[in-house]
Amino acid sequence: MEVLREKVEEEEEAEREEAAERAERAEKTMRPVEVRTEEAPLTPEMLRDLEKKLSEIETPASEEPPVITKDTIDISSLPLSYKTNTPKEEHLLQVADDFSRQYSHLCPDRVPLFLYPLNECEVPKFVSTTIRPTLLPYPDLYNWDGCAQFVSDFLTMVPLPNPLRPLVKRRERALSKKYTVKPPRDLSSKFEQEQEIKKQREIRAQEQKRLREEEERLLEAEKAKPDPLHGLRVHSWVLVLSGKREVPETFFIDPLTARSYSTQDDRFLGIESIWNHKNYWINMQDCWNCCKDLVFDLGDPVRWEFMLLGTDKPKLSLTEEDDNGMNDEDDVENLGKEDEDKSFDVPHSWVEQIEISPEAFETRCPNGKKVIQYKRAKLEKWAPYLNSNGLVCRLTTYEDLEWTETLEVKEWYQNREDRLELKHINKTTGLNIDYFKPGHPQALRVHSYKSMQPEMDRVMEFYETTRVDGLMKREETATTMTEHYQGRPDFLSYRHITFGPRVKKLALKSAESNPRPIVKITERFLRNSAKPADEDVAERVFLIGEERIQLRYHCRDDHITASKREYLRRTEVDSKGNKIIMTPDMCISFEVEPMEHTKKLLYQYQDMMHLKNEEKVSRHLAWESELEVLEILKLREEEEEAHTLTVSIYDTRRNEKSKEYRETMERVMHEEQLQQVEAQLDYLAPFLAQLPPGEKLTHWQAVCLKDECLSDFKQRLIDKANLIQARFEKETQELQKKQQWYQENQVTLTPEDEDLYLSYCSQAVFRIRILEQRLNRHKELAPLKYLALEKKLYKDPRLVELLKVFA
């Protein structure tokens, strides 16, 4: 079955999305889509309700009223095709109506057909025309499973009133039941097998059986009473026919759950009719054995009564048909047999092409949030970036059916900067396990803990390849710390530290400054093949309190005993008060093959000194490990606090930097454009405005226009020159006045005033010079500008023809 699921026609996906977005349009498949209407009460309202059901989730037995995020459709903004029927559609509706009447006449016992429901604008539309095959640009939607998942995510279920007895919720409950019931016979057979295997097991099995029976009984009790609406419920779903896109077997898809079902499934009781965007078929086969015996050969007119003698009627064939749209052979055949009048094409769909924006696609569910409720479990989904802490999915399992006792919570995160991927909280044991993706600043992979306080039970696993020290795992209990390493050049693979009770210091500062005393450090090393086994330490134990160091060496390949050595590194003083450096009893050793040089005190002394240093190093490392734990815990707390999210550099929408950059670019572009527009100011516009609009220019008018424009420009140039001249003169006069004033009052002036005067003078001179320059420049440029404008006017598209003739 898995294989089958893989591919379905593209159109199907397309339809699905459409179906998702527009509630009324049921389902369409390029391949046949079927809707089964199993039930009788057939008012149009009912039908609409049924359709609506697709877009709304029924929340089974939930206490609070379901939040219905129903889009109120603004009818006025819809295109005309939604509000009216074309003559062809009218004709089609008529055909459908005839068909329906004939059908109810011939099959009075059967449910009336679902042929032309009202759309959102209360206009009847033939169902096939509600389908418009569309290919969307998302690879996820190319195959049926991704597509179905999207549709099911997009739909929200809302409970319907009971059509028989209003306001009964039973039927929804029945719907949700589908997922939970286990077939009990499986269990009993298992039990029987077990019973036969062993006598001892039998007792256990019996116990189990009893328990299971109990469970079963409970299950039975939980199970709803026999459904009074059994077999009366109408539902619509998607049928995917085998053949195209390597679909080997026909199957159903339930749009609400996005699951596929075999046509043999017991829960599909029968099919009334099916349709796609081209035709409508009525099932004429007996559904006494659910859908198991149905033959899905739509070309067989005995089994499937078609409504339209369409061009796309699937071949009646034994082989797998591959009817890509048209099938000419069939057409000819059909045309020969039947009246030509009857053949009628379904008009093009009146529905607008579906469009799903990337945002909507990413958001998936309405408002980006969706809750699916299972028996004893609840699954919540959110769109990425919707929650500020990156939460995208949460699965809560409960002990009981009422959802009061939480068993465990699993939370999935996405795009977290701290690379947190999954948080697993076991409520009964209080154990939290955090899983991280590669890339945490401390290379954390898994962190399981009951409390964030240090020196408690805790296991941290790391991505050892990203750590310099090759640490793989660090386990802690209240008094020990165990570290596992891998791939170290010193072959260390294991370090176990036992702490003693903390000594209370008078000058207490904090846990950091008063580390727990280390009682024992055990280190194990892997075999270093470069050394002989007798010199390669396998395990060394520093008994710090007892001042002892125990060494165990690796075992030789062909031996079963390994060398051992123990140093008592007590410093003692002999009878004369001299310090004893080394005596034979300070080293007890067992050597597999006694060596000469190791008996030497010198060797032993050097070895012991070396080990003393090593002990110091190990103690320091142990202390560093403790610090690191504190650091990680602190970091984790900070991360939880901040829960920053990362944005991919390819995500142009969310990436602030790229957004800024883009906006700047846009602004610059815009400004450039403005400048360009300015540069292309229309000189003629004010003059053209004076002329009566809409009339063609005459030659005379054109000449006038040109002259006027030029003279105007000339005037403006002169004005500008005059203006500069005026300013120049004014500036000069003022300067002269000032100079005069200065000469008159020179004697009485304070130094400050003099400074002011001087600075004014220099500025004024500067201004005058600039004005002079501008004037000169203007004088130089003015004739050129004039000529340029003249040239331009001669080339102006509005004048060019007229001026040329007589030019």
Partner 1 sequence: MNHLHDSMEPRVMDDDMLKLAVGEQGPQEEAGQLAKQEGILFKDVLSLQLDFQNILRIDNLWQFENLRKLQLDNNIIERIEGLENLTHLVWLDLSFNNIEAIEGLDTLVNLEDLSLFSNRISKIDALDALVKLQVLSLGNNQISNMMNIIYLRQFKYLRTLSLSGNPISEAEDYKMFICAYLPDLVYLDFRRISDDTKELAEAKHQYGIDELKHRESLMQARLEDEQARREELQKHKAAFVEHLNGSFLFDSMYTEDVEGKKLSYLPGVSELLEAYKDKFVIICLNIFEYGLKQHEKRKTELDTFNECVHEAIQENQEQGKHRIAKFEEKYLLSLNTIREESEVPTIEKKIMECGEDITELFNALMTLEMQLVEQLEETINLFERNIIDLVGLFIENVQSLMAQCRDLENHHHEKLLEISINTLEKNVKGELDEDLPDDVRLVSALFVDKDTIINAVGASHDIHLLKIDNREDELVTRINSWCTHLVDKIHRDETTRNRERVKEISQYVDHMQSELDNLEYGDILD
Contact footprint for partner 1 (CB under 8 A): 555, 558-561, 581-582, 588, 590, 592, 596-597, 600-602, 605-606, 609
Least Å distance, CB 477 to partner 1, is 21
Distance of closest approach, residue 493 Cβ to partner 1, in angstroms: 17
Could you tell me if residue 754 is left (phi over 0), alpha (psi between -120 and 50 degrees) or otherwise beta? alpha
* Cα-based distances in Å from 725 to 212, 720, 729: 109, 9, 6
Nearest approach in angstroms of CB 483 to partner 1 is 22
Long-range contacts from 463-471, C-beta under 8 angstroms, 24+ separation: 463/438, 466/438, 467/443
Nearest to 252 by CA among 267, 243, 242, 263: 263
Q: How many CB atoms lie within 10 A of CB 199?
A: 8
Q: Which is nearer to partner 1, 573 or 747 (CB)?
A: 573
Report in angstroms how near the CB of residue 429 gets to partner 1 at its nearest: 31
**CB–CB of 25/117 below 8 Å?**
no
Least distance in Å: CB of 540 to partner 1? 15
Taking the complex as a whole, the smallest distance from the CB of residue 214 to partner 1 amounts, in Å, to: 45
Q: How far is the CB of 392 from partner 1 (least distance, A)?
A: 49
Closer by beta carbon to partner 1, 221 or else 560: 560
Nearer to partner 1, 379 or 595 (CB): 595
Q: Which amino acid is at 150?
A: F
Cβ-based nearer residue to partner 1, 439 or 532: 532
- ∠ at Cα 390 (386, 391), nearest 5°? 85
Q: Which is nearer to partner 1, 613 or 644 (CB)?
A: 613
Contact 481, 496 (CB under 8 A): yes
**What are the start-end ranges of the E strands in 420-486?**
420-426, 431-436, 444-449, 458-462, 471-476, 480-485
Measured on CA atoms in the order 592, 595, 601, 606, is the torsion positive or negative?
negative
Tell me the CA distances in angstroms from 81 to 28, 36, 129, 248, one per residue in order: 19, 27, 11, 38
Q: Are the C-beta atoms of 582 and 608 separated by less than 8 Å?
A: yes
Taking the C-alpha atoms of residue 698 and residue 691, their distance in angstroms, rounded to an integer, is: 11
**Shortest reach from residue 63's CB to partner 1, in Å:** 59
8-state DSSP, 695: P
Query: Torsion angle of alpha carbons 84, 86, 87, 92, nearest 10°?
Result: -90
E-assigned strand segments in 587-692: 587-590
Tokens of 387: 């929650």
In the complex, least distance from residue 585 CB atom to partner 1, rounded to whole angstroms: 9
* Closest to partner 1 by CB, 606 or 711: 606
Q: Which is nearer to partner 1, 147 or 521 (CB)?
A: 521
Between 61 and 609, name the residue whose CB sits nearer to partner 1. Answer: 609
Residue 581 or 642: the one with the smaller Cβ distance to partner 1 is 581
CA 426, CA 424: separation in Å to the nearest integer? 6
Residue placing its CB nearer to partner 1 in the complex, 605 or 623: 605
Angle of helix 10-21 relative to helix 144-154, nearest 10 degrees, comes to: 0
Q: Which is nearer to partner 1, 426 or 589 (CB)?
A: 589
**C-beta of 73 vs 601, nearer to partner 1:** 601
Smallest distance from the beta carbon of 600 to partner 1, in angstroms? 6
Of residues 420 and 537, the one with the C-beta less far from partner 1: 537
> What single-letter amino acid sits at 50?
L
Long-range contacts of 651-659 (CB under 8 A, 24+ apart): 653/358, 653/359, 654/385
CB 407 within 8 Å of CB 399: yes
Backbone torsions φ then ψ of 325, nearest 5 degrees: 70, -95
Q: Compute the least distance from the CB of residue 420 to partner 1, in Å.
A: 41
Q: Which is nearer to partner 1, 599 or 791 (CB)?
A: 599
Residues 315, 327 contacting (CB under 8 angstroms)? yes
- Minimum CB distance to partner 1, residue 579 (Å): 8
Minimum Å gap between C-beta 559 and partner 1 is 6
DSSP string computed for 163-176: SSSSS--HHHHHHH
Instruction: Supply the minimum distance, in Å, between the C-beta of residue 533 and partner 1.
Output: 13
